[in-house]
Amino acid sequence: MTTIRYPWETPPENGGMIEIAEAVFWLRLPLPMKLDHVNIYVLDDGDGWTLIDTGMKSRKVQGMWQHLLDGPLRSKPVKRVVATHHHPDHIGFHGWFVEQFGAEYVSTQVAYLTARMLTLDVQDSYSPGQIDFYRRAGMRADLLAKRETERPFNFSDMVHPIPVGFTRIEEGDVIEMGSRIWDIRVDHGHAPDHASFWSRDDNLVLSGDQVIASISSNIGVYPTEPDANPLAEWMNSCARLQEFATADHLALPGHKLPFIGMPLRLKQLLENHHGALDRLRADLKSPKTAGEIMLAVFKRNIGDGEYGLGLVEALAHCNYLWHAGEASRTLDQDGAYRWVIK
């Protein structure tokens, strides 16, 4: 296949739901950011509904859920909420469905524990260690000064409290949802232990944020593990999934449009990061911070609204070359690491 096809050129309205396969419905919910939506999939299990992700917590989205529960979902209960991964735009209402309706919480172990830990970790200010992390990455001075005085992003602002107790899924497990048997594959890079679901009965794949057609998922390094190598994990996962993807698979991603052409898209994702690494190798012939190499990595200037995500992804590319033994780093007197090709 030489192209990627989009069977639906127009998504449902925010809060609206359309059937895209037997017993599988596509729901779109709004997000308060540049990527202004998340896709939710509602599967009809006969005696109840299974939700694949639930969106980010807000009064507006809660109202949309209530409208759905009072309308097209009123004929049966929401019995299960499934997390593709722990990010707040995907699990914001998981705890609400457990608390209000007794739904079963299904997740990989790492995704569940990470989500629960982060929702309990409420911070009014950045810690000195976090500030040191961003300084070492080479964050722009004005943005670093602002970060030293502002309240950090807190999961608890955007995610309903995560309940005590969940049902664990792992690589190689199978799960029955929407009158289908799905193989569970667990991958890494964008988020640890990201689950995707591959139907044995037809061509559907619930790909979450692991495979999206028109954007590349953010691959970031964070203060919790400053020397992590998520880009290697991501690229290994993309290569691994090429073994399972077929030209007729219909991917149902966490953002943008459902698409056909997974083998091509996985190839593009790998080529995208190989290209960024080649540009970075050329740029690091002289020492630079992660903050100084974003233009080389992304081929465009990164605005203030995207700067934080851009910085942690640029750092992921530096860490990749460092772990591969291609680059070295030196902590300079200004507290920033500068990277250079050996």
Tell me what pLDDT residue 81 has. Answer: 98
Domain count, the chain: 1
Q: So what's the pLDDT on residue 1?
A: 54
Residue 308 falls within a domain, yes or no? no
Task: Determine the pLDDT at residue 321.
Answer: 98
183 pLDDT above the threshold of 70: yes
Q: Domain for residue 49, yes or no?
A: yes
Nearest to 135 by CA among 302, 291, 340, 320: 291
Geometric angle at alpha carbon 338, from 335 and 339, rounded to 5° = 150
Q: Does residue 104 form part of some domain?
A: yes
Over range 209-237, report the average pLDDT. 97
φ and ψ at residue 113, rounded to 5 degrees = -65, -40
Cβ-count burial of 264 within 10 angstroms (0-12 exposed, 13-18 middle, 19+ buried)? middle
Whether 280 is in a domain gets the answer: no
Using CA atoms, how far residue 4 sits from 142, 214, 247, 268, 272, in Å, is 41, 10, 10, 11, 16
The Cα 287–Cα 223 span in angstroms is: 22
pLDDT at position 119 is: 97
Q: Are 107 and 168 in contact (CB under 8 A)?
A: yes
Is residue 215 situated within a structural domain?
A: yes
What CATH number has the domain bearing residue 216? 3.60.15.10
Exposed (0-12), middle (13-18) or buried (19+): which is 101, by Cβ within 10 Å?
Answer: middle
- CA dist 296 → 74, 274, 275, 278 (Å): 51, 12, 10, 9
Mean pLDDT for 38-50 is: 98
**Is 227's pLDDT higher than 80?**
yes
Within a domain: 293 = no
pLDDT in tens, 61-79: 999 999 999 999 999 999 9
Backbone angles phi, psi at 142, to 5 degrees: -70, -35
Q: What burial class does residue 151 get, using C-beta atoms within 10 Å of its C-beta: 0-12 exposed, 13-18 middle, 19+ buried? A: exposed
pTM listed for this prediction: 0.96
What average pLDDT is seen over the chain? 97
Query: DSSP secondary structure string, 285-336?
Result: TS-B-GGGSHHHHHSSPPPHHHHHHHHHHHHHHHHHHHHTTSEEEEE-TTS-
Please determine, for residue 161, whether its predicted confidence score (pLDDT) is greater than 90: yes
Question: How, if at all, do strands 337-341 and 174-177 pair?
Answer: unpaired
Domain containing 259: what range? 17-123+155-275
Given this model, what pLDDT does residue 228 score? 98
> Which residues on adjacent β-strands are paired with residue 28?
14, 39
- What value does the mean pLDDT take over residues 153-165? 96
Cβ neighbour number for residue 2 with a 10 Å cutoff? 5
pLDDT exceeds cutoff 80 at 2: no
Contact 40, 29 (CB under 8 A): yes
Q: What is the pLDDT of residues 252-300, one digit of tens each?
A: 999 999 999 999 999 999 999 999 999 999 999 999 999 999 999 999 9
Q: Is residue 119 part of a domain?
A: yes
Three-state SS for 202? coil
49 neighbors 76 (Cβ within 8 angstroms): yes
- Token duo for residue 311: 């910085």
Question: What would the pLDDT profile of 122-134 be if each residue is shown by its tens digit?
Answer: 999 999 999 999 9
Please indicate, yes or no, if residue 263 is contained in any of the structural domains.
Answer: yes
Starting at the earlier edge strand, list the strands of the sheet with 194-199: 174-177, 180-187, 194-199, 204-208, 250-253, 259-260
